[in-house]
């Protein structure tokens, strides 16, 4: 039996890279970085190539409360 409640266990994260920060819902820090990367690419379309190539270590992730 699949426990769907565990799959939906998402938390809010504040993800910062440089001077930009976004709040995303994700299942973990790695998932939060991926979601933040997508959101930043949507908000800053001219920088999508730079954002998509950034090393994951450049993203600072905090659980949003």
Report phi then psi at 32, rounded to 5. -65, -40
- Residues 6 or more apart whose CB falls under 8 angstroms from that of 5 comprise none
Domain ranges of the chain: 4-63
Which pLDDT tens digit goes with each residue over 29-64? 999 999 999 999 999 999 999 999 999 999 999 998
Residue 2: the pLDDT is: 53
Average pLDDT over residues 9-20: 93
**Whether residue 6 has pLDDT greater than 70:** no
Instruction: Say how far apart CA 32 and CA 62 lie, in whole Å.
Output: 10
**Whether residue 5 has pLDDT greater than 70:** no
Instruction: Say how far apart CA 7 and CA 22 lie, in whole Å.
Output: 22
Per-residue confidence at 65, pLDDT binned at 50, 70, 90? confident
């Amino acid at each position: 039996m699949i426990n769907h409640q565990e799959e939906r266990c998402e938390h809010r994260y504040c993800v910062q890279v440089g001077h930009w920060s976004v709040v995303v819902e994700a299942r973990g820090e790695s998932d939060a970085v991926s979601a933040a990367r997508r959101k930043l690419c949507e908000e800053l379309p001219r920088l999508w190539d730079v954002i998509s190539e950034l090393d994951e270590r450049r993203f600072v992730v905090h659980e949003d409360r």
